[in-house]
């Protein structure tokens, strides 16, 4: 029976993926038409279709739109009385640093607050390409610092504050967690929750990038496109970055101990991985993207002296996701440095599945399981 149920789940996800692939291809075609006719840009249209909407009152939550250090935030506080201070969660939304808003993740944040009985602060960081790196990181850090300095006002336990994010938001949560790891004048973060995070831009040919290159909701080319928009405000040299010509050989050798298919468990290579011919390094390209080697942009590249100070971690990965191996590689780095890691892998999941919780009245079963795994981890803290 368990085998039959697993097959049903996989077939269900496959049907969903085919539908999403058709929908995404149609939307991308519409993007191109609108941009070529001058009606609007791909980014403007993409933001429009992903903007979400602010919901009405919630009988179980107090919800406020505020500013923390001039950064817009939305604070969710349970109405029910509590025996003591609650957990606090800083939530950083996904969207490739380009899309997403407080409204986009309204249902996810309400669910996290209600189900885990936590105060959730959703952060509206500045978006690329208008605001390049490190704008998004700085906004998330500044909002986190403000919250940590005012926990008592929100009834939050200083010993139970967590940073959480999905996709690009997972990247930002990891970067903020690393920055605060050695801080002695603020409450120490209790945990970091990284939901299919993007953590490096050195190698877009890891097994998961090859296996899932055309799987929605994040194609391999779009992963590089978003990283370049965040870094430079444009997607120049995307071809060279995808091929791997943007990193000097000595630097690639230095980081190979952390960013390598050799560190991916064999079970994740069974769907086929092709050994790739090394590409020639192009110095001019490196000069435009060398900040990819900064841990605040690519947290997987942080030194061991930082990583071993990180708090307990939760990492969620999806089998059908180009970013799967980013999460697996960071899991290994954390464990190698003695950091406790809870890992949850959605075998029938794909990138962005958590953000589709209760989307247009339906949820993917796999996404609901993933979201509940986050809630269960929070309750354990």
Residues marked active site are found at 167, 321, 351
Angle (nearest 5°) at CA 32 between 31 and 37: 105
SS3 333: helix
Nearest Cα residue to 165 out of 342, 341, 374, 379? 374
* CA distance linking residue 354 with residue 367, whole number of Å: 5
Task: State the pairing for strand pair 312-320/341-350.
Answer: parallel
* CA distance linking residue 179 with residue 190, whole number of Å: 14
Nearest Cα residue to 58 out of 36, 74, 77, 42? 77
SS3 65: strand
The DSSP element (H or E) to which 24 belongs, if any, is helix 2-36
φ, ψ of residue 207 to 5 degrees: the values are -50, -45
For 122, what's the count of Cα atoms within 13 Å in the CB-facing half-sphere? Answer: 25
Do 237 and 344 touch, CB atoms closer than 8 A?
no
* CA distance linking residue 17 with residue 353, whole number of Å: 11
* CA distance linking residue 337 with residue 302, whole number of Å: 12
Task: State the pairing for strand pair 312-320/71-78.
Answer: unpaired
Nearest Cα residue to 197 out of 177, 211, 181? 177
The two structure tokens encoding residue 4: 């039959």
* CA distance linking residue 237 with residue 240, whole number of Å: 5
C-alpha distance from residue 295 to each of 27, 233, 318, 359 (Å) = 33, 19, 23, 33
The DSSP element (H or E) to which 26 belongs, if any, is helix 2-36
């Amino acid at each position: 029976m368990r085998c039959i149920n697993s097959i049903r789940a996989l077939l269900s996800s496959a049907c969903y993926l085919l539908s999403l692939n058709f929908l995404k291809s149609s939307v991308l075609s519409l993007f191109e038409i609108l941009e070529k006719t001058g009606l609007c840009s791909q980014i403007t249209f993409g933001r429009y279709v992903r903007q979400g909407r602010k919901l009405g009152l919630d009988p179980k939550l107090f919800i406020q739109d505020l500013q923390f250090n001039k950064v817009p935030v939305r604070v969710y506080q349970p109405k029910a009385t509590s025996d003591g201070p609650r957990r606090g969660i800083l939530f950083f939304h996904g969207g490739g640093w380009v899309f997403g808003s407080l409204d986009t993740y309204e249902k996810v944040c309400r669910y996290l607050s209600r189900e885990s009985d936590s105060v959730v602060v959703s952060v509206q960081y500045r978006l690329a390409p208008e605001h390049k790196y490190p704008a998004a990181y700085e906004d998330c850090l500044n909002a986190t610092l403000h919250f940590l300095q005012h926990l008592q006002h929100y009834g939050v336990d200083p010993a139970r504050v967590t940073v959480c994010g999905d996709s690009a938001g997972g990247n930002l949560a990891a970067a903020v967690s690393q920055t605060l790891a050695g801080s002695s004048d603020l409450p120490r973060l209790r945990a970091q929750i990284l939901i299919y995070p993007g953590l490096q831009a050195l190698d877009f040919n890891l097994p998961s990038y090859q296996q899932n290159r055309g799987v929605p909701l994040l194609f391999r080319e779009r992963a590089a496109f978003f990283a370049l928009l965040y870094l430079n405000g444009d997607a120049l040299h995307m071809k060279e970055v995808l091929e791997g010509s943007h990193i000097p050989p000595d630097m690639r050798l230095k980081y190979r101990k952390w960013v390598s298919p050799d560190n991916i468990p064999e079970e994740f290579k069974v769907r086929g991985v092709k050994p790739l011919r090394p590409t020639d390094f192009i110095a001019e390209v490196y000069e435009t993207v060398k900040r990819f080697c900064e841990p605040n942009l690519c947290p997987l590249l942080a030194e061991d002296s930082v990583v071993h100070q990180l708090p307990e971690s939760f990492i969620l990965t999806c089998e059908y996701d180009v970013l799967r191996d980013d999460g697996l590689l960071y899991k290994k780095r954390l464990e190698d440095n003695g950091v406790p890691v809870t890992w949850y892998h959605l075998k029938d999941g794909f990138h962005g599945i958590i953000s589709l919780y209760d989307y247009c009245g339906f949820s993917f079963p796999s996404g609901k399981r993933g979201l509940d795994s986050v809630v269960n981890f929070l309750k354990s803290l």
